[in-house]
Amino acid sequence: MNNFQKRINYQGDLKPFLQQVCKDFSIGEYENYEIIPIGYEDFNLAVITDKGKYFVKIFGSFRSKDECSRYVGIMESVLRVGVSHPPLFKSNQGYLYELSNNNQTDRLCVMRYIDGKIFYELQATPTTEEKRFIIKQAALINKINIKPPMVYDQWAITNFLKEYEKKSKYLNKEDKKLVEPMVELYNSLSIDGLPHCFVHGDITKTNTMKSANGDIYILDFAVANYYPRIQELAVILCDLFFDDKNTSEFPQNYDLALNEYQNYIALTTEELEKLPNYVKLAHTMHILLSNYEKIANGNKSPENEYFLGMGRVGLKYTNQIWK
């Protein structure tokens, strides 16, 4: 059994499990599968059948049925308004599928497989036109009039204080010096009073894909919640629009994001004033949580190291330009 399979209830040979999935989704005769290693929680696979290739997300065993239903419902809402997201396939049970084995139940959904790479794999930042498209997608998402049940996301900026109290002990001396001042900054923002809306909350290089023909897709709505509206832009700006090897481009990318977003949604004066500090906090969360993953959970993956490095460079840089 591989480490990724430990995230789900199903143990042993996956072939009979996936054969049943292929049958019930009418996606062809099962042939093989490939593990998609990006991500911390769910078990993501590319399943190959005689009809083609399909993306199968098997939800982590820690997720309840309600949480899985919530996730799939969000994807349906997103697709309805035209957000660029891989289409869902329907099984004989609907979009959310359950399969029980030895008194254990696994839940999953199946999507169109996109032949492409996420920006993390490309080791690239989007082009100007791609940035404009991504911001348009963010605005489309933020206009969706839904307020799903809250799912706690330890990486979310709104949870900084809770996470700092629990995990600051895992910071080394240098990182603690960077992160500690952010407590006072966070308290100064009066986050509860900011305009809130439906927010993806994790539009990063690991959740934004470029297909082989150049189309851009927004992936993974697992931690989408009702948040301060500027949380969407802050997360985009701290990663997708930030190149830690070429920080001088950031002010231009920041202006592009703000101008493009306001073609669709006008930000308030308060949001415009607080967004820079929100970006600082987005970088801070990467430092705090990546350190925790590394020290407490032994996660030394390239993905975790990437977020840790990006957070350190990003917070130091934004502290310089926004004093």
Both 170 and 95 in a single domain? Answer: no
Asked if residue 10 and residue 82 are part of one domain, the reply reads yes
37 and 68 in a common domain: yes
Radius of gyration (C-alpha) of the chain in whole angstroms:
20
182 and 49 within one domain: no
Same-domain check for residues 33 and 153 = no
Q: What is the domain-level CATH number for residue 165?
A: 3.90.1200.10
Dist. CA 303–CA 136, nearest whole Å: 26
Do 206 and 184 have their domain in common? yes
**pLDDT tens digits along 168-205:** 999 999 999 999 999 999 999 999 999 999 999 999 99
> Are residues 14 and 157 located together in one domain of the fold?
no
Split into its structural domains, the chain has a count of 2
Assign residue 54 a region (left: φ > 0; alpha: ψ between -120 and 50; beta: otherwise).
beta
What was the pLDDT predicted at 284? 98
- Are 233 and 167 in a shared domain? yes
Range of the domain at 292: 118-321
**3-state SS track over 78-139:** HHHCCCCCCCEECECCECCEEEEECCEEEEEEEEECCCEEEHHHHCCCCCHHHHHHHHHHHH
Q: State whether 176 and 33 are in the same domain.
A: no
The answer, yes or no, to whether residue 1 has pLDDT greater than 50, is no
Q: Given this model, what pLDDT does residue 4 score?
A: 63
Q: Mean pLDDT, to the nearest integer, of 39-53? A: 88
More confident residue, 9 or 52: 52
| 214-250 pLDDT tens trace | 999 999 998 999 999 999 999 999 999 999 999 999 9
pLDDT class of 101 with cuts at 50, 70, 90 = confident
Return the pLDDT at 40. 55
Q: Could you tell me if 187 and 277 are in contact, meaning their C-beta atoms sit under 8 angstroms apart?
A: no
Task: Name residues whose C-beta falls within 8 Å of residue 111's C-beta, 6 or more positions apart in sequence.
Answer: 54, 55, 56, 57, 86, 87, 88, 89
* Domain final position from 67, 86, 113: 113
Q: Work out the average pLDDT over 22-51.
A: 90
User: Is the predicted pLDDT of residue 11 greater than 90, yes or no?
Assistant: no
- Across the range 267-289, mean pLDDT stands at 98
Whether residue 15 is found in the same domain as residue 133: no
28 in the same domain as 122: no
Q: How confident is the model at residue 2 (pLDDT cuts 50, 70, 90)?
A: low
Per the model's pLDDT, the better-predicted residue between 134 and 40 turns out to be: 134
64, 90, 113 - which closes a domain:
113
**pLDDT for residue 282 is more than 80:** yes
Does one domain contain both 179 and 289?
A: yes
**C-alpha dist (Å) from residue 53 to 5, 48, 100, 106, 108:** 20, 4, 24, 21, 16
The two structure tokens encoding residue 44: 């993501």
Q: Where among 113, 142, 164 does a domain terminate? A: 113
Calpha distance 185→196 (Å, rounded): 20
The mean predicted confidence, pLDDT, of the chain is 94
Band the pLDDT of 100: cuts 50, 70, 90: confident
Please give the average per-residue pLDDT across 109-133, as a whole number. Answer: 95
Residue 43 pLDDT exceeds 90: no
